[in-house]
Each structure stands twice: as structure tokens, then as C-alpha cells.
Homo-oligomer: A and B are copies of this chain.
């Protein structure tokens, strides 16, 4: 896709992504720069862009490639990072975030992207898109740099809900497997349940119950269950999907991010230490850039809200054009694979299991 096709030709098969232009730290300019980046690379994406019309028209009109591929929806208000979710739920109408979800709600798009306030976005998504039948607790899934062949693991939940009982954890396993299949192209993802040890007798009672429920569904739901995994397996190669409650998952990713960022700082310090080390850093710059790219959070930018009627990709609040473009790419993959619909079917097929805590087999499906 290096050749530049005529992006302005009518392409009725374009996959439309609903994008909240506001609410990120860098404002609408970064978002428009991000969708421009995506549009250049991929002629099959179209956009519905939500925010103040005049500002968006000005930004979009500067990028020729975006002409005819972006539909602007005027939304004068913005959800700020400081707004309380409860406030946004009551007064969020008229914001770009609300409007972006509306396009998913009314079926114009199956996936929405926003860089805004996570708590508000989850709260609005819950009331506007509503939970899938059979899902008690939606989850946020993130990608995490790992030793896997694909370079990343999926982990969920990382903070949609601080609680999760055994049926919730089973749902996370099903949703995570579906996400790994549709978002990462893994035919038969390996699912691990996060615990403090790998022995079957370890951990909290709900983990032991979830272990058995997930194990019983593995065959029919077409994933491999590797059993309990530990924190060290999150960046490892034992599982493709790490299932945990939102409290533990949130602490784990923030600890991992903080550790990575501390090491990065210390590495820069180490290379500034002496003239010799500064010379070394110049020689090593491409190697170091390669490493940085490998673990760059912008490349895996996009927590995904799962368990709703429609899919929401939450991009990092501080996302620049590269970050927004990565989130759009993920949204496109999910939209094109029909992920939202497949996930709904998958969850419906196991709803009886999670509600009755029984182990009724479901028909194997590749979704």
C-alpha cells in the first residue's frame, strides 16, 4: 500500500470509524494529523469526526487526502480530563465524546475512537451503548509488549471495574480470546488467568472457580487455556491473553509502565555520564531507536472497551498523531473483521454458562 490511490474516488466499501476529535491533551490538531496519517496509509478507511465544526473544517481542509473521506458532526462541547464521570453522564449531551458514541449507537460505525477522559468515556459508553446481553461487567483490554511472536499480549480488565467474580473472569476470557482473534489475527489464542502462583491450589476462591469455568469452555470456544499465570508472564510468552480483575490489572500495567519509564530515564542518564558514553549513544542511536519503537506505548496505543453494543477504542490522552493513527488502525482492524457483532454472538452463546455457573458446551466458532 505504498502507491497512492485516488483517495477521493467514491469507495462505498470504506470502513467508517467514528472519531472524537476533542478531549486529548494535544487537541483536535493531533487527532486530525492522526487520521490523516491513517488515511494516507489505508484507502479503505472513512471517518465521522466529532467536534466544533468550524475548527474541524479548518483542520480537515488543509489535508487534501481527507477531502470526501471525513464527515464532520458538529459538537460544540468538550469533556475535559477533570470532568467527573457522573457529571458527564448527566450533562454530556452536546460533547464530541457523546456524539462519537452516538454514531456507534445508531449504526453508522461499529467502532469509536476517543483520546478523552477514560472514566467519562466508560461511563458514557455504558449508558449510551449499553452492556451486551449476558455481560455483567464490561472490561478494558490493553496490549502489552511481550516475548510473544506477535510482540504483544492482551490484558483485561485493566480498570473498567475494580471487582470481578468468577463468571466475569470467564467473560473476560471469552472477550479477550475474541479480541485476540479479530484484533491480532491469532487463530487459537492462549488464555492465562493471573494469580500469585501457577499451582492450582493457589489464590483467591473466585480464581479457583474461574479456573474451572474457563477450562471447561476452552475447547468449545476455541482457545487454549494455559491455567494460572503470574505477573512475570504479562511480558512473557506463556499466554496471549491475560485475564484478571480491573484492580489488579490496573496496578500491574501502571507498575510495568512506571518501571519501563524509570529504566528509560536511567538509560539516558547512563549515556550522558561521560564523553565516551555520549559517543557510544551516538553510535548506538539506531539500535536504541529500534528498541524504543519495540516498546513504544504509542504503537500499542488503544485500550479497548469490550462487552458493549459496539466497540470503543480509548487512545492515550497524551496521544500525538502517531498514537491516534495507531488507535485508528486498531479500530479499523476490529471494524473490518466484524468484531463487535462476533463478540456479541460469542458472549450470547456463553451467557447461560456465566449466569448459571454451569458448563454447557457451546458450538465451536472462530470468532
Contact = CB atoms under 8 A, between A and B. Distances in A.
A231 B258 contact: yes
A296 to B, nearest CB: 12
A362 interface: no
A82 to B, nearest CB: 11
Contacts of A248: 247-248, 251
A250 to B, nearest CB: 4
A351 interface: no
Interface of A: 145-147, 159, 162-163, 194, 196, 203-204, 230-236, 244, 246-248, 250-263, 265-267, 269-271, 273-274, 276-277, 279-284, 286-288, 290-291, 294-295
A146 B283 contact: no
Contact of A231 (B145, B196, B232, B255): B255
Contacts of A251: 194, 196, 230-231, 244, 248, 251-252
B256 A259 contact: yes
A349 to B, nearest CB: 31
Contacts of A263: 260, 263, 291, 295
Contact of A253 (B231, B233, B246): B231
Given A146-B262, A204-B162, A295-B263, A255 B270 contact: no
Contacts of A259: 145, 234-235, 255-256, 259-260
A284 B278 CA distance: 8
A233 B258 contact: yes
A22 to B, nearest CB: 23
Contacts of A271: 284, 287
Number of copies: 2
A204 B247 contact: yes
11 contacts: A145-B259, A194-B251, A231-B254, A231-B255, A232-B254, A235-B258, A253-B255, A255-B259, A270-B288, A273-B286, A276-B284
Nearest to A289: B270
A80 to B, nearest CB: 15
A310 B254 CA distance: 34
Nearest to A258: B232
A247 B196 contact: yes
A252 B252 CA distance: 5
Given A231-B253, A232-B257, A260-B263, 4 more contacts: A231-B250, A267-B267, A276-B286, A284-B284
Nearest to A273: B287
Nearest to A146: B262
Given A159-B196, A284-B281, A273 B254 contact: no
Contacts of A145: 259, 262
Contacts of A290: 270, 273
A233 to B, nearest CB: 7
A202 B19 CA distance: 29
A287 B288 CA distance: 14
Nearest to A163: B204
B254 A267 contact: no
A250 B309 CA distance: 35
A274 to B, nearest CB: 7
Contacts of A284: 270-271, 276-277, 280-281, 284
Given A273-B287, A273-B290, A287-B270, A262 B147 contact: yes
Given A145-B262, A250-B196, A270-B291, A255 B283 contact: no
